[in-house]
Amino acid sequence: MAPKPISPPPIPDDYPHSDLYRIRHSLAHIMAQAVLEKFPGAKIAIGPPIDYGFYYDFDLPRPIKEEDLADIEARMREIIAEGHAFTRRVIAPDEARELFRDQPYKLELIEDILSRGTDEYGNPLPPGEQPVLTTYKHATFEDLCRGPHVDNTRDINPKAFKLMSIAGAYWRGDETKPMLTRIYGTAWRTPKELRQYLQWREEAQKRDHRRLGKELGLFVFAPDEIGPGIPLFTPKGEIVRHLLESYVREVQTRYGFTHVWTGHIVREDLYARSGHLQNYADVMFPPMVDGDDRYRLKPMNCPSHMTLYKKMGRHSYRELPLRFSEFATVYRYEKKGELHGLTRVRSLTQDDCHIFLMPEQIQSEFAMLLDLVQEILGRFGLTNYQVRLSLRGEGGKYVDDPEKWNAAEAALRNALNASGLDYTEAYGEAAFYGPKADFVARDTLGREWQLSTIQVDFIQPARLGLTYIGPDGEEHTPVVLHRAIMGSTERFLGVLIEHYAGAFPVWLAPVQVVVLPIADRHAAHAQRLAGRLRTEGLRVEVDADSETLNYRIRRAEKAKIPYMLVVGDREMENGTVAVRMRSRKNLGTMTVDAFLARIRADIEAGT
Ligand SMILES: [Zn+2]
Ligand SMILES: [Zn+2]
């Protein structure tokens, strides 16, 4: 069952200079006018266009309700029909302070523009632009603004926008500052684009992995008991996790990887030597102190794998590339406000790998890794991706060894060219210790997810004193490639739940078959049948509850169980099963062997 692709209308290239951007920005102003009319005394903060629409933040004299949105929207349509021109003017600082004397948030932004040279939202200006105090006015509403806007409100299609939701937002994103009311709207050029967007958004909400994870009984969170951002996987959820990891492990083994295990806590000293303590302290949990010893929960595996390499004894160039892979749970101190379902968590299991090799092996190893990534992502139907090659830029942050950089960058580029993969180069995006390649995959909803990463490292191996004996009999420092394909099992599972809308392919479904006896007298037969299918390696449940058959069928469909086998008198007598699929397709009656052949073919095909 290939998921049906659905996408939002495209965002124009060079969006900030597009007509769509002007439409949305103008609607933010029109909405602010309508809100000020409905809530006299409201204070206005900022109102920029965003990817799919616009918002404006307000400090309102009374709480706003969803019902208010309809009134505001209706008034916005009137304002559009009135046909007001947008006019720009440059104003002097004192005039600006006078104009916005009742608007404290605007006064703060004016002082920022004057003293810090920011834009009208308090953000740094794009390079090459000078700070200016300008306003845009239409009808009765004048805003501190650099534009651009439409010429006239009539340039906006009144049927191509919609106010979507209300949310709380701290002034300047700062938890210590006042909480404002943010009203979100979406806007497009045509009603048709609006309909397409709304349909896409509805589908995205239906697929939200936090909602589906609960409905399908895959995982729970217990922020008060266990802690925020630490998912607990149910028996069903753990089956999927385990299948993902064992699949990746099996493919990796075929590609010549070995697997290691390195525990959960590490002496803090090691992170001081590797450089993590200096650079990543803010994402590490605080230390555990044991007398004079200090330990940390592992935030990453690199120093552990490198220590393992070192402690295994002397290495010869003949052993290289040596590939250590581990499904390692690491702990990151993410801010509570930034945690999000499975995609942003505090405990995550990386499919982490470190490859120790000679510099001249980078190209062939990278070429092999490109094949590996494509095979694994392809198994999940993630075949639409872009590779981003991050290269060294100007400036002093990069390790000063131009020869190594040139060689490594050329090796990655050559391998990418030979692979025929679509890739872009990003100058100045490399880490200070080497170039890297990221895979950004598109899911069925056209959303981009950065999944796999392959990172070259010239620094840590030297810092931690790793060596190998080269063909010349001398000691050399190996290069290390850091590599993850899923990224983390948790995040990848979150992406897959949304990608498949919870209907996992048969090989990955936590329950593959449910047997439904028609009446009580068929229950024992159903249990025997389930037992037989289990001995064939299938994951099977029996639903012999007292509800009607139709009810139990609907329940199995909702649980997205790929196959339902209905058994009654006739099936018992003939040794057959009546087969239904979760897509509601009825496959009719077949022998148990015929069913087994069918489900095995599905598992084999990965569908
Ligand atoms: Zn504006
Ligand atoms: Zn690493």
Is the pLDDT confidence value at 1 over 60?
A: no
Ligand approaching nearest to the C-alpha of 109: 1
- How many angstroms is it from 379 CA to the middle of ligand 2? 25
**Higher model confidence: residue 4 or residue 299?**
299
Structure tokens given for 191: 């009603």
CATH architecture of 15-206: 2-Layer Sandwich (3.30)
What stretch of H or E contains 180? strand 179-187
Least confident of 69-78, 119-128, 375-384, 595-604: 119-128
- How many angstroms is it from 482 CA to the middle of ligand 2? 4
Q: In what order do the strands lie in the sheet with 141-144?
A: 87-90, 134-138, 141-144
Q: Helices (DSSP H) in 420-481: which residue ranges? A: 460-463
CATH number of the 237-261+306-499 domain = 3.30.930.10
Look up 436 and say whether it is catalytic. yes
Is the pLDDT confidence value at 206 over 70?
A: yes
To the nearest whole number, what is the mean pLDDT of the chain? 94
Predicted pLDDT of residue 4: 66
Q: How confident is the model at residue 117 (pLDDT cuts 50, 70, 90)?
A: confident
Task: State pTM to two decimals.
Answer: 0.84
Tell me which residues have their CB within 5 A of the ion that is ligand 2. Answer: 302, 482
DSSP state of 344: B
For residue 505, which phi and psi values (nearest 5 degrees)?
-60, 160
Cα–Cα distance between 135 and 258 in angstroms, integer?
63
- Which residue's structure tokens are 């949310």? 167
Predicted pLDDT of residue 301: 96
Look up 354 and say whether it is catalytic. yes
**Residue 48 · residue 38 · CB < 8 Å:** no
Q: Where are the domains of the chain?
A: 15-206, 237-261+306-499, 506-605
The predicted-structure confidence for 251-289, as pLDDT tens digits, reads as follows 999 999 999 999 999 999 999 998 889 888 889 999 999
Look up 499 and say whether it is catalytic. no
Predicted pLDDT of residue 442: 87
Cα–Cα distance between 360 and 111 in angstroms, integer?
56
The predicted-structure confidence for 330-352, as pLDDT tens digits, reads as follows 999 998 878 999 999 999 999 99
Question: Which of the residues 350, 361, 455, 460 is marked catalytic?
Answer: 350
Is the pLDDT confidence value at 529 over 60?
A: yes
Predicted pLDDT of residue 411: 93
Question: Which of the residues 22, 315, 354, 483 is marked catalytic?
Answer: 354
Cα radius of gyration rounded to whole Å, the chain: 29
Look up 290 and say whether it is catalytic. no
Mean pLDDT in residue range 125-129: 77
The predicted-structure confidence for 396-449, as pLDDT tens digits, reads as follows 777 778 888 899 999 999 999 999 898 999 998 888 889 999 999 988 888 889
Mean pLDDT in residue range 140-145: 95
Which fold does the domain 506-605 belong to in CATH? Rossmann fold (3.40.50)
pLDDT above 90 as % of the chain: 82
Q: How confident is the model at residue 451 (pLDDT cuts 50, 70, 90)?
A: very high
pLDDT above 70 as % of the chain: 99
- How many angstroms is it from 28 CA to the middle of ligand 1? 7
Mean pLDDT in residue range 305-332: 97
Least confident of 9-13, 35-39, 391-395, 536-540: 391-395
Is the pLDDT confidence value at 101 over 70?
A: yes
Measured in Å, how far apart are the chain's first and last C-alpha atoms?
Answer: 6
